[in-house]
Structure 1
Amino acid sequence: MRKAMLMISASMMMTAAAYAETKIIYAGNLIPDAQTGAIGPATITINDGKITSITNGITRADNDADNNDLEIIDLSNFTVLPGLIDTHVHLSGDPGGDYWREAVDSDEWGVIMGAKNARITALAGFTTVRDVGSAQLVGFALRRGTAEGKIPGPRIQSSGPAISIIGGHGDVSGFRPEVNKVLDAENSCTGAVQCAERVRQASKRGADLIKITATGGVLSQQARGLDQHFTNEEMTAIADTAHSLGMKVAAHAHGPRGIEGAAKAGIDSIEHCTFGDDASMAAMKANKSACVPTLMAYTGIRERLGKGVYTPQVEDKIRATLKVVGAAANKMHKNGINIVFGTDSGVYEHGRNAEEFALMVDLIGMTNREALASATTGAATLMGLENEVGKIAPGFSADIIAVATNPLDDIRTLEKVQWVMVRGRIIK
């Protein structure tokens, strides 16, 4: 009911100010930064998609309604906070599809699916994402579409296709050789020189970051195990080349030796961290590699296990991972390793991203404040956007959401976001 009332009042207020350059938000309870907590009622002023000022209390001007250059957004019954950040999504895919669809669906269809999922993701309160695995140019098209306001959705950083070993997780498999050849994304490599070349090619195409598959994967059509794929020399070449080009590297890694090797190579974030052990954790801590635990991925695969969705070899790998969900990330958190919010959306249904928060609290042992910070300031820092998003502050992008109650008291309130703004644009 409260959401419906907000939508009605907001639409009435915005009709006369459809082209307003300045927006004023009346926040009932503002959380400008997860670390500072809630500061009570506040007034936020936005110009050209940027936050220009924040004042304590709600200051209503007498002539607000008569000023056609001013758009008033009344969120005085809500808690207002920075837009959330998911550092591990796959916008162009939905869960549960048969693996052979890869040989049927076009890249153009991936853009259609991505546009659908970008809007769903933004409406769920996620105003910035890292798209870490999509067809050759799909993620880049979505990035431009949301940046220019052609499609509603979050700010996007995209890696394009993940770099893989030949025949490993991320390389096309499961088809006849001639079909595999046609579907090849030119993303696999052998040896340090060729792997460095793949990084440079990704940079040339427009990648914001590099994603590699440092270990085997749960959902790939192979029974190759879940530990290290790339050699240490290959991963070092990838990391050094990416860093020389100003890009960070995210490494899909389940097995302990793959995690350890990726961290020692200087890779910035370990995605999944499933079977991390003492040696791999020591390497991550020494290198300051972050863990992106993607706990919702395991929710997605658990819900489909035994229903004919996955092939037998995939089901075997799923059962192995489900026994240890969150255990390694829990130990990493206790040992001071940076935990950053990321969910692997696309393995589960897009729009459920915020369910990750409760899992981080329950399985990893994070506080509500730590979990929220991991999806705001922590994620922004990992993405190199710490001066642009993750806080509500002057000079930052107007990426803002509203929820019914304070998430520092009830983290699950983030599962029902009431209102969203990205770059100063309201997502409807």
Structure 2
Amino acid sequence: MIIRLMGVAALAIAAPAYAETQVIHAGRVITAAGSAPLGESTITVTDGRIVSVTPGRVPAPAGATEIDLSGKTVLPGLVDMHVHLSGDPGGDFWKEAVEPDEWGVVVGAKNALVTARAGFTTVRDLGSARDVGFVLRRGTAEGMIPGPRIISSGPAISIIGGHGDVSGFRPEVNAVLDAGNTCTGPEQCAARVREASKNGANVIKITATGGVLSQQGRGLGQHFTDPEMKAIADTAHGLGLRVAAHAHGARGIEGAARAGIDTIEHGTFADAAAIKAMKEKGTAYVPTLMAFTGIRDRLGKGVYTPTVEAKVRETLGTIGKALNAAHEAGVTIVFGTDAGVFEHGRNAEEFAQMVELGGMTPTEALASATTTAAKLLDMENEIGRIAPGYSADIIAVSGDPLADIRTLEKVDFVMVRGKRIP
């Protein structure tokens, strides 16, 4: 009898879980940027994956959940390639000395939900306190925190005293807050990449130039040397990781591209030589135009220190110029916003700036946040399209984003990995 009961229990454990099927009735479907939109269609999702996209309104099978989006345009979930989930805009820099890293998980959980509600079903979190981004990544993956799929770098790798290193305090306070993320020389920089990989990074983030919001006043020019950046890129690629470089100054952008860095973030002062290097090396550009909206909104209001305000003013006359030039040159453009420098949830406002300032078409802008972003993440067979076999990352809007890109600023329905975001 005992043997028989044990056998029954084993069979119960081995039995497959009940398949959850959802049927979406869509009024119109953009299966992928650049593809002709479909009319009324039925999308079937089982256990978090798209099973079929069928013309017309198809009756749902018994037991399936029906979702009526018959008055909406349904399209793939959006990808933001540059966010900081654990940060909010305008915070006093000195709070870095009083708030524990764990607080970033609380802030990040809040922002993960806000970001998903805005239609962004995958994000690349580029720069957070140690373990914070990784904890948020696991929380959304396991369904404990509602939010997007998260690709996380952990802390950015920086030069000593550069953007990404703690500064603005007494030396002894700087030393206590040191995250161990700085390096000098190719060998040590390679070691930092290996450490980041060991600790769980999906992507490597470096600060190739000075930054606007850090307290160091050393300008926005190149920080890492060319050999240091090459060591970083070569080591990361050997580990199967891509590298994203925060870069404002032209020579830092050019140096990062020639070193084999995969993406340039911001690219504020990219000139002809920098753009030529990006094109020749296949370096993608993540323009983060909304970051400039965030800092402009807070300029002159006592939010920033005089050091930071001076750097803010240095950047504001250039917004969109580098994107326009890079787009004309045929550089790959990928959607990213730097959310956290402005309020999370406003991410889709980047689209209009890409079109109005960067010279992109609505279709190109949408592709930058779907198919192009998915390819750069090596996830082109997982996200960025509505097609059988893909993850059910689906959003719906009223209107036509290919005619009016601002339509994406108000999202009516979001599904991430087959789970509806409340």
TM-score bracket relative to the smaller structure = over 0.9
**For 1:72, what is the secondary structure of its paired residue?**
strand
**Shift of residue 38 of structure 1?**
1.3
CA contact (8 A) 2:81 2:124 kept: yes
**Shift of residue 182 of structure 1?**
1.4
**Shift of residue 20 of structure 1?**
6.7
1:42 corresponding residue in structure 2? 41
State which of 84, 88, 91 in structure 1 corresponds to 2:82.
Answer: 88
Larger deviation: 35-44 or 358-367?
Answer: 35-44
**Shift of residue 37 of structure 1?**
3.4
1:356 corresponding residue in structure 2? 350
CA contact (8 A) 1:293 1:343 kept: yes
**Shift of residue 383 of structure 1?**
1.2
2:417 corresponding residue in structure 1? 423
Equivalent AA in structure 1 for residue 326 of structure 2? M
For residues 136-147 of structure 1, what are the structure 2 equivalents within 5 Å?
136-147=130-141
Task: State how many pairs are aligned.
Answer: 405
1:21 corresponding residue in structure 2? 20
State which of 208, 211, 214 in structure 2 corresponds to 1:214.
Answer: 208
2:151 corresponding residue in structure 1? 157
CA offset digits 1:151-187 (Å, max 9, x no partner): 0000000000000000000000001111111111110
1:99 corresponding residue in structure 2? 93
For residues 212-251 of structure 1, what are the structure 2 equivalents within 5 Å?
212-251=206-245
**For 1:78, what is the secondary structure of its paired residue?**
strand
- Consecutive unaligned residues of structure 1, counting only runs of 5 or more, are 1-18
For residues 133-282 of structure 1, what are the structure 2 equivalents within 5 Å?
133-282=127-276
State how far apart, in whole Å, the 2-side matches of 1:321 and 1:163 are. Answer: 23
State how far apart, in whole Å, the 1-side matches of 2:100 and 2:89 are. Answer: 17
CA contact (8 A) 1:20 1:71 kept: no
CA offset digits 1:243-262 (Å, max 9, x no partner): 00000000000000000000
1:373 corresponding residue in structure 2? 367
1:392 corresponding residue in structure 2? 386
The structure 1 segments of at least 4 consecutive aligned residues displaced by more than 3 Å after TM superposition are none
State how far apart, in whole Å, the 1-side matches of 2:270 and 2:163 are. Answer: 19
**2:121 is equivalent to residue 122 of structure 1:** no
State how far apart, in whole Å, the 2-side matches of 1:195 and 1:158 are. Answer: 19
For residues 302-313 of structure 1, what are the structure 2 equivalents within 5 Å?
302-313=296-307
1:54 corresponding residue in structure 2? 53
Equivalent AA in structure 2 for residue 155 of structure 1? R
CA contact (8 A) 2:19 2:46 kept: no
State how far apart, in whole Å, the 1-side matches of 2:273 and 2:151 are. Answer: 31
**Shift of residue 222 of structure 1?**
1.4
**2:297 is equivalent to residue 297 of structure 1:** no
1:31 corresponding residue in structure 2? 30
State how far apart, in whole Å, the 2-side matches of 1:374 and 1:234 are. Answer: 29
State how far apart, in whole Å, the 2-side matches of 1:340 and 1:105 are. Answer: 33
Q: Percent identity?
A: 70
State how far apart, in whole Å, the 1-side matches of 2:116 and 2:219 are. Answer: 35
State how far apart, in whole Å, the 2-side matches of 1:57 and 1:256 are. Answer: 52
State how far apart, in whole Å, the 1-side matches of 2:23 and 2:400 are. Answer: 21
TM-score by length of 1: 0.94
Q: CA-atom RMSD, angstroms?
A: 0.9
